[in-house]
Structure 1
């Protein structure tokens, strides 16, 4: 099999061991004579996968029975609306800390349901950094405070999370979930599309504090109520069975490879390899994010011209590296190096960057 280094932002690289396990079990899951994709979601086999994935996720992120893990559909973009529908009361307000394109989208969607205040924004810096503590202005009556832990397009990540006092803290962690240890008890709700660090597209993970869940509105449509999915253990309707199965395999892989602490150590190493190639290029490569706020998941940078950027992408594909073009809205180069990306892949990219700069600098 021809293998490439996959730097796509999502759907993204999956661990090789997980793909091999899924291939081995694809036609006949545990001797049942059928694929997991063909089984009822009410079968004991899938119910074991579903409950096992919830338990594994809670172990890895470090929470107990005071939290629920839900597996829903619609991606993080549906969560942009589902969150205010459940927790933004009529006439109420929510605060949004905006550090990039996905934070913008979340705030814009919430504004359709009530006052979605921008408590801080770094748009004036072209989203190259996170706001300082003194730049964040929270509303006294905010129903919750929302942030995006890692912006995939701009390559900006919170190294530590702001103190929001007694306000419920909510985060879109789609692109850095389980990539490093966090204190999940600080959050009332975390959501993450699976297709970057957790599995294939089609399933979204929601971690929600039970006491906050108990306060959710009962008025949203049935499928858009968190309570519906919690009451039915994410089995109210037919779930994305194969996606949850794959997610469970990825969680097992993380546990087998040192847990979140092991992922963090490897991710620091990988990111350092590429950032060193940027910083050591004598200005040929220019990183977008401020050094203190650089993402360990999405490394974004520019070259001296757009023509060279197009040439860089074309030659990288010829060198068996895919997915390095920046997001269509900003251009440039983006290397997404989620948990499943190997250090060898980052070393190969750094070597390619060095040779490309030597030839074209």
Structure 2
């Protein structure tokens, strides 16, 4: 079989070692005679799996005491509603930083439940200077998206905030070290750097629990899930199991410090190839370019189909940009090996030689 490198933005590539480990345990987890997919979520076996997963994630991120880790469902879209239902009252104001598509989806949903104030609005090429943000007085919280998966804009800093800082980290969590203590709540879908789709991760400070509005559905109340240790209802058990294997894979490779260095290497290699070509262009200013999602365009969009066909022939898959913006996009999450980025860079240069 030809070597394939999957540049999908999510669901995304998983570490091969993780998939092989899951394959070996698929029908019989640790001599239990059961697949993880068959286990009771309240049984001893799965209790061990979820307990280890949480402990390993706490170690990876250095999650301090006073924070709960919740393994949930519904993706970031559920969180867009859960946040205002749990952290605001109808007359409260939420400050948002709008840096792209996913910021705007979160803003649209939040407006159903509370007042929204735009502290800053980006133009798609970068992050507005923090000194220019216009924050509202007494906001319930400040929300931002640390990495816009579609636009390829990534925050190189953690904003300062006097109110709880809330962040959608769906596409760059676990890609670098993080000071969790700076945040009130962090959330993200698992299907990029954590595991398969179906799992959503929430890290929430204890003092933000227990304040849900009276009309909040039981399943949308963070306190309910925290009190039940993520087992109020049947959780996405197999996705949690895979996430736990990913956490161990990261720890075995030196944790997030080592992973950040590899991600810097991959992103630098790809951006340097694009910039040096005179043929490809990237819409994001250099200080704000994502290490995870690299959007780019060809000099002549009439060559897009030929580019994608040639890439597929080389085993370079899922490079088509999001339908809302077009162009190309290479997602190079933690599990994308350096060799995959090298193969893409070789193809980028070869395509210029034949079509430039």
Report the TM range for the smaller structure's normalisation.
over 0.9
| Contact 1:5–1:320 under 8 Å retained in 2 | yes
CA distance in 1, matches of 2:2, 2:214: 51
Gaps spanning 5+ residues in structure 1: where? none
SS at match of 1:96: strand
1:128-174 per-residue CA deviation (whole Å, 9 max, x = no partner) reads 1111113311111210000000001000100012212x110000000
In structure 2, the partner of 1:351 is 346
| Contact 2:210–2:222 under 8 Å retained in 1 | no
| Contact 2:64–2:181 under 8 Å retained in 1 | no
CA distance in 2, matches of 1:219, 1:261: 43
> What is the root-mean-square deviation of aligned Cα atoms in Å?
1.1
| Contact 1:86–1:218 under 8 Å retained in 2 | no
Q: After the TM superposition, which residues 215-254 of structure 1 pair with which residues of structure 2 at under 5 Å, given as runs?
A: 215-254=211-250
CA distance in 1, matches of 2:217, 2:334: 35
| Contact 2:321–2:328 under 8 Å retained in 1 | yes
| Contact 2:7–2:318 under 8 Å retained in 1 | yes
In structure 1, the partner of 2:165 is 169
In structure 2, the partner of 1:331 is 326
CA distance in 2, matches of 1:96, 1:311: 40
What's the TM-score, normalizing by structure 1?
0.97
1:37-80 per-residue CA deviation (whole Å, 9 max, x = no partner) reads 00100111101111111111111111222111001100011111
CA distance in 2, matches of 1:241, 1:3: 30
Give the counterpart of 2:283 among 263, 272, 288: 288
What's the TM-score, normalizing by structure 2?
0.98
SS at match of 1:275: helix
1:178-221 per-residue CA deviation (whole Å, 9 max, x = no partner) reads 10012111100000100000000000000001122244445411
The change in CA–CA distance for 1:336 and 1:95 in structure 2 (over 3 A counts) is same
Gaps spanning 5+ residues in structure 2: where? none
CA distance in 1, matches of 2:65, 2:213: 22
Q: After the TM superposition, which residues 176-325 of structure 1 pair with which residues of structure 2 at under 5 Å, given as runs?
A: 176-282=172-278, 284-325=279-320
CA distance in 1, matches of 2:155, 2:242: 28
Q: Moved runs in structure 1, 4+ residues, more than 3 A?
A: 214-219
1:276-327 per-residue CA deviation (whole Å, 9 max, x = no partner) reads 1111112x11011100100000011111122112221121011101010000
